[in-house]
Amino acid sequence: MAKDQKTSPYFTRKRPDITSCLPFPPTSAVSFGLIQEKLAHEPFRLLIATIFLNRTKGEVAIPVLYSVFEQYPTIESLAEADFDELVSLIRRLGFQNSRAKKCIAIAKSWVANAPKRGERYRKLHYPNKSDGLGVGCNEVVVDDDSRVAWEIAHLPGVGPYAIDSWRIFCRDELRGLASDWNGADAPEGFSPEWKSVRPKDKELCAFLTWMWLKDGWIWDPQTGEKVAATRRIYRAVQDGGLVLQKSNGKWCLDLTAIGETSLSIEVGAAKFVNTI
């Protein structure tokens, strides 16, 4: 194992020697550890967070993000921010000019026309190719219209990562369907929005894989297919069995936590294997 690899705080055995490892908390944990979980009830700040996290590691981006929130505590104050001052504040992240421009533009647009329930806008080719082509550039799509459109798509510079994050953590609450992103206070049979999202971002994929495992399913992020997790797998992830993402996009599940030495399960492009 490489010397610079850290030991998972949830699993005391040595981590398998796999490139680009991503440790998962046990499914019994309250949260996965994404900043989006903390900002789920603050959709504007969540969208600003996606600007900072894009192409930047969380441990670098998040302290700067909170510095911006401290300097500009309201949406209005960020909308009125001095461009050069904001650039100086976030310079260490790189791409500071474009990030500052996006932050101010989103804040101005939010002040002028905040996302509302029942008002959707087109986002071309999201989530699938040709989506949005049938919606006019400035057209507002109402809820009973089946065309693909999104409540935040009118905001400038909002891309797939931002919309995926918002859909997972904020959309159900905005639409009045539930009081949080996991279906709290929703009627029986309600399916949370996160279950229909298939992001390309590796951390969002990891989070949804973990969420599906909490539900008892092995989910393939590339195809959206899922199969029921066996009791052995469910017990492993519930107790903190280490799940990793390899550089080739496959997933590995360490079952040594429950004494297993061999197991391999494939779901489409996702392959779950035991590693010792």
Residue 50, token pair as written in the block: 């996606």
Q: Quick one: which H or E segment has residue 251?
A: strand 251-253
Regarding whether 107 and 162 lie in a shared domain, the answer is yes
Regarding whether 67 and 12 lie in a shared domain, the answer is no
Regarding whether 274 and 262 lie in a shared domain, the answer is yes
- Give residue 8's pLDDT: 36
Regarding whether 12 and 135 lie in a shared domain, the answer is no
- Give residue 105's pLDDT: 98
Regarding whether 143 and 55 lie in a shared domain, the answer is yes
Give the separation between CA 273 and CA 264, rounded to whole angstroms. Answer: 4
Picking from 196, 229, 262, the residue at the C-terminal end of a domain is 196
Give the separation between CA 194 and CA 131, rounded to whole angstroms. Answer: 19
* Domain count along the chain: 2
Please list the alpha-helical segments (H only) found in the chain: 35-38, 43-53, 58-71, 75-79, 83-90, 96-112, 160-169, 171-174, 202-214, 231-238
- pLDDT tens digits, the chain, 276 residues: what are they? 344 434 334 333 333 333 333 567 888 888 999 999 999 999 999 999 999 998 888 889 999 999 999 999 999 999 999 999 999 999 999 999 999 999 999 999 999 999 999 999 999 999 999 999 999 999 999 999 999 999 999 999 999 999 999 999 999 999 999 999 999 999 999 999 999 999 999 889 889 988 998 898 888 888 899 989 888 777 777 766 655 555 555 555 655 555 554 444 444 444 444 443
Regarding whether 116 and 105 lie in a shared domain, the answer is yes
Give the separation between CA 1 and CA 14, rounded to whole angstroms. Answer: 8
Regarding whether 22 and 123 lie in a shared domain, the answer is no
Strand partners, 273: 264
Q: What is the pTM of this model?
A: 0.84
Give the separation between CA 10 and CA 127, rounded to whole angstroms. Answer: 34
What one-character DSSP code corresponds to residue 123?
A: -
Regarding whether 244 and 176 lie in a shared domain, the answer is no
- Give residue 245's pLDDT: 52
- Give residue 267's pLDDT: 43
- The torsion angles phi and psi of 272, rounded to 5 degrees, stand at -105, 120
Domain that holds residue 23: 1-32+202-276
Regarding whether 54 and 12 lie in a shared domain, the answer is no
What's the Cα-to-Cα distance from 243 to each of 30, 168, 203, 219, 273, rounded to whole Å?
Answer: 17, 21, 13, 13, 10
